[in-house]
Structure 1
């Protein structure tokens, strides 16, 4: 089936069966929503995810007669399409979505326009060799050199309007600074900026828009001039190829691999690179400022706490990114979400809709700058065709937000209607008018504010960057040596929902220490979070700081809740075992089991009743189901007797000292695999010793790369150096946030997160600590 043939009005079917000779994958009818779908209309331009909500919920894959494309709207389907660039070719990504007429085509030909394949729309086997050859300048290490230039430009442009009290952020900064950065990065001279801006818009309209017939000729002249200018700039670069810049890097690479980096390829990349490096960042920055100022609480939070900016950028890219959709061509008969798809079908994959899919992002329409999986967004694409410039864009957006929040925290949106250049794929408001009172500019009272700089994270933000400030409502002794801390939101709003077994990461003031504490309150209480902290005399200082500094009214920065110790709510029976402060997660699990009607028993061991936290509460709540073992009373839990008879219907959950957990593992050895689920307090990792390790290769199946992990390097570090996004937090094998999928190769598991069965299945690993047993592993990245 060719998805671009003329509709049959009689049946409503978009395919002329007689003309196509087949009906495979063709819908028997077109729904009302599909028939009306128009990506050039204002509703799509204003809010693409909302415009296709009906499809995401009811018809995730549909045919658009107006467009001649199949439209895909859900996260998993779109990520699968990005993952398989053999079945779903990127070759039409830059194809004109609205064919131009003969007059406009003649104009383009008169300029010698010969746009070739680029990294965006090139198939294998040509694509990956070129991508590998040209990738190095995009790595985080290489991008660091551009940070001072981005900061200087940002400061200069804000200086121009800081005292005006009103500005159009797009016209006066957010268009020109990314363009200048793009030109610097590419190695292009800064002359003709206004001309390049005009040409860039024309290229977007020419490729992704729907210019009217009378507009097509003017657009064609602009695109033709753009093409010729790109060629002239490239010729100038060839005269001095040792200058800095990505294009000069490409010219030098051409000497090494002339068959890979060709003349025509460099010419096309020069033109496409200006658009790609500039326009998407300019639009993303404008979208972000509009979105943040529309959410005053979020704007206030990043003004007060700049460490939130990296994740705020990620959430802006997810919630309102600059790339609304991409295109793919089906190369063989296949299915998408059960819908037959014939070879030759064209796809519009609405990545902005995927970023609002409730199946992947909880409360997807909520703008939450602390969202833990915000960086799962597909705005940059995914896999071997993921945007190489993603981290340059992230850097620019972080610096813009840092400058605005420091210098204009009192800025607000002016009354206005937002307009967009009509097209399917690139979106950003043409203007963002803001207002403020110049007399309130912080630098008038505090000139040294301009000297403060916050570190920019080049790459996907770590979950270290997702902190919220909570207020200590109560801090009281829960038993000897145990401090019970109750936390609430400063503004009285509900706190994030959590499930039994979850923990918080708490920052211990300015010490640089961060410690994990399990939640032990009632998960149904949305207004409070409760943790219990044991003072550990032999600890690393975190618990001592908590006991010495946490008082009612104090403010603590926390991350989470996060859960890698979950209760299986389908289990028939549960045995809960806690030792000492290990009662904290186990108490919440037992409370939940009681609420669900699960048959359970709770076993709690400690040195004495006086040092056993939560004991009165547990007695009142669990009655005879609670068994207490106080050492000073001569009672010890006999694990061998308790677990003598294995039961496939029972799960055992335990948290406590490592010695207790080791004994439990032995007592459960004859039980079915993974009967025992445990939560560890401490990592068992030591310092990486290169003399005892070996280097290995990691093949990244989705990205088409093979990276080497040196003996003195973690997999996580090697992935980030190769520009691959992987989240992390503890980096001690405790939290599970850096998990990656393993497709092949034996893993040396060193974390304390995975169960025995999960390790034996060999389908996942923690990239911060675990390694390959052999010389090579294959990962789903």
Structure 2
């Protein structure tokens, strides 16, 4: 394709192609150093542009890249492995000499062939199967670290990060582990052959290595064919072939043997090298995961987002279409730059920042999305977690060798540094002082990390009386950093001994140097409030997660009515502060047995006396809910937190109010364990993934999704937090959560997969 197929004259550049688009070169310069940073101009100014250099349309924003992934019919993956640089006739002849006949694989196969094969070969990639590989991965990583732990200086790529993923890949596939040096050469040659731009004099040598790689793959496959009973994905494929020979063919298995080695090996090796470089360049973050290994799963996810090993994929438009505001003609080739999408500020707040506590890190597109999402994603996550656990435990004092130059194999799509040199003082190795650290094991998260993993350490600055039986706990970051932003209604999760409890923030959202929560000692406490009142002391440190807000104040409301029962005043007081600052009309009804036990009453009297009504049963002025809410008022929103009896009474008293006038905050769930005798099984169609999964009568949708290797975040798994929400396309949902409003339930556009179910026999989700 010569020139540009669309007139960009409106850019006033004097050329049909903008100057920045014309100068785009993915084989060198800034793109090779940092693809995402090099395309910031595109995300901001020209998110879809034509590159004359490579003859491709380049797509750089998150929403556009995800939309292309989502529709694998309109945007065919058939060119994903096509040589981006035409090879010489001599190189082509060299490949023919080896009978090179690479056919379609899971990466570049169109429908209707792709999904039947994907479904047939999926089982070894599910979390339930992958857990069996964890001991082998741990053993390998330990053995490789043992080799250099006392050396003081090493190239992590050469000494561990390349060879371990290769051995794991071979083990997973069921391939013998010999010939590792040759396989390394073959794997590099395959990358250069497909995604790089080898010089003419290099092309024959590259083709020679690729041809030998092809022959090797065929030879090993034939050995397996004689006895396919062994472990590994390829023997599994041979067994499936006997049952479905029309789906799993000989040529397909040969191609997958070769492609599988590259896919399972090189991307993980590069991703791991990128992660170590990124973490060691951000020393304070490295120190945090050394001190708190529970942060490792989300650190891996943020590394994959910020500096993943997959920079871009390619697609072919099968019909005239539009991406964003740009018309794309049929037959156009697309370079969809996932690394750019992963830094898009429109989806990831301050996308260039490296934040291992980012709650939507796992939204990244490094593994792709939809029906062509990488099946080996959870094997890669497992390896990266174990790499980081072993090194942060045994070499926390590791640092990058100063002034080293990081180089990358020039190509459009896959990136990782050729070398990562590190150094340390072997005399300071922790295991010399305490050999028991070698026995420690951090649980590996096989699958997308739960948001409950994203914790931070906070220090108890003060514990002060707030009322009879109530204390205010002030928390801060031990290093003096600002705590995360929050809004009225937000809560945090705190680990108290062996318990985790949720508490609403009740301080000043503008003061991020500290958080405040108020805790009442409950007579029937399950241990949380008792711990705060009798064990917790100023100076202690705690693990905290959040803040999160599923009780947000509607800024469009003209008037607010706030109703608090007892300690339920904690989210309400910050809402009242906000309403006052915004100049809104509001009233507060604060209910309690005795004013002496009503926390924050002095603050409310000082700041909101003209809007406050105190209801004390001891004084005989209990809240008459039916009277207060007898007349429905338009443009008024009601917010309440307190005992379930108060919330239930409010729901009954406001039934005649406009839909969704009432908003309540729950901290306990009424969900019971699923009783299969009262439930029914149903199907869930995953439209974007091209799968239909079965949900048993005693199984949640969330569990069924995880068992099918589908990424979805979760947290409370009690229908309280909203983390596991999924978009609904079709089918009626039996909503059992405490997050969605009545209107949202009636709209039937989303469901909480941890608890809600299908009313009928099938629902369809946009996953």
With normalisation by structure 2, the TM-score equals: 0.98
Any idea what the Cα deviations from partners look like across 1:677-722, whole Å, max 9, x if unmatched? 1111211111221221111111111111111111111111111011
Q: SS where residue 466 of structure 2 aligns?
A: strand
1:625 is matched with 611
CA distance in 1, matches of 2:3, 2:113: 36
Q: How does 1:48-87 map to 2 (within 5 A)?
A: 48-87=35-74
User: Residues 448, 181 of structure 1: CA spacing in aligned structure 2 closer, same or farther, 3 A cutoff?
Assistant: same
Say if 2:478 is the partner of 1:490: yes
CA distance in 2, matches of 1:348, 1:399: 33
User: Residues 301, 11 of structure 1: CA spacing in aligned structure 2 closer, same or farther, 3 A cutoff?
Assistant: closer
CA distance in 2, matches of 1:327, 1:546: 55
Alignment check: 8 A CA contact 2:381 2:446 kept: yes
1:222, CA displacement in angstroms?
0.8
Give the counterpart of 1:248 among 225, 235, 238: 235
User: Residues 551, 40 of structure 1: CA spacing in aligned structure 2 closer, same or farther, 3 A cutoff?
Assistant: same
2:672 is matched with 686
CA distance in 2, matches of 1:546, 1:70: 59
1:451 is matched with 439
1:9, CA displacement in angstroms?
12
**CA RMSD, 1 decimal:** 1.5
1:95 is matched with 82
CA distance in 2, matches of 1:547, 1:113: 72
1:761 is matched with 747
2:558 is matched with 572
Any idea what the Cα deviations from partners look like across 1:700-750, whole Å, max 9, x if unmatched? 111111111111111111110111111111111111111111111111111
Q: SS where residue 191 of structure 2 aligns?
A: helix
1:473 is matched with 461
Give the counterpart of 2:3 among 3, 7, 10: 7
Greater mean deviation of Cα atoms: 102-111 or 286-295: 102-111
Greater mean deviation of Cα atoms: 540-549 or 517-526: 540-549
User: Residues 425, 9 of structure 1: CA spacing in aligned structure 2 closer, same or farther, 3 A cutoff?
Assistant: closer
1:10, CA displacement in angstroms?
14
Alignment check: 8 A CA contact 1:303 1:406 kept: yes
CA distance in 1, matches of 2:8, 2:636: 56
Q: SS where residue 80 of structure 1 aligns?
A: helix
User: Residues 28, 342 of structure 1: CA spacing in aligned structure 2 closer, same or farther, 3 A cutoff?
Assistant: farther
2:374 is matched with 387
Say if 2:635 is the partner of 1:639: no
1:352, CA displacement in angstroms?
0.8
Give the counterpart of 2:425 among 409, 412, 437: 437
1:19 is matched with none
Q: Which runs of 4+ in 1 moved over 3 A?
A: 8-13
1:291 is matched with 278
Alignment check: 8 A CA contact 2:4 2:50 kept: no
1:623, CA displacement in angstroms?
2.3
CA distance in 2, matches of 1:67, 1:501: 51
1:11, CA displacement in angstroms?
8.6
1:470, CA displacement in angstroms?
0.2
1:23 is matched with none
Say if 2:663 is the partner of 1:663: no
User: Residues 597, 131 of structure 1: CA spacing in aligned structure 2 closer, same or farther, 3 A cutoff?
Assistant: same
Say if 2:407 is the partner of 1:419: yes
2:500 is matched with 514
Q: SS where residue 70 of structure 1 aligns?
A: strand
Any idea what the Cα deviations from partners look like across 1:323-359, whole Å, max 9, x if unmatched? 0111111111111112111111111111111111111
Q: SS where residue 691 of structure 1 aligns?
A: coil
CA distance in 2, matches of 1:11, 1:737: 44
1:654 is matched with 640
Q: SS where residue 677 of structure 2 aligns?
A: helix
Alignment check: 8 A CA contact 2:61 2:344 kept: yes
1:574, CA displacement in angstroms?
1.3
User: Residues 569, 167 of structure 1: CA spacing in aligned structure 2 closer, same or farther, 3 A cutoff?
Assistant: same
Give the counterpart of 2:448 among 460, 472, 475: 460
Give the counterpart of 2:258 among 241, 248, 271: 271
1:28, CA displacement in angstroms?
7.9
Q: How does 1:681-720 map to 2 (within 5 A)?
A: 681-720=667-706
CA distance in 2, matches of 1:600, 1:329: 57
Q: SS where residue 690 of structure 1 aligns?
A: coil
Greater mean deviation of Cα atoms: 384-393 or 611-620: 611-620
5+ residue gaps, structure 2: none
1:7, CA displacement in angstroms?
1.8
Say if 2:140 is the partner of 1:153: yes
Say if 2:589 is the partner of 1:593: no
CA distance in 2, matches of 1:736, 1:79: 22
With normalisation by structure 1, the TM-score equals: 0.96
Q: SS where residue 67 of structure 1 aligns?
A: coil
Greater mean deviation of Cα atoms: 598-607 or 426-435: 598-607
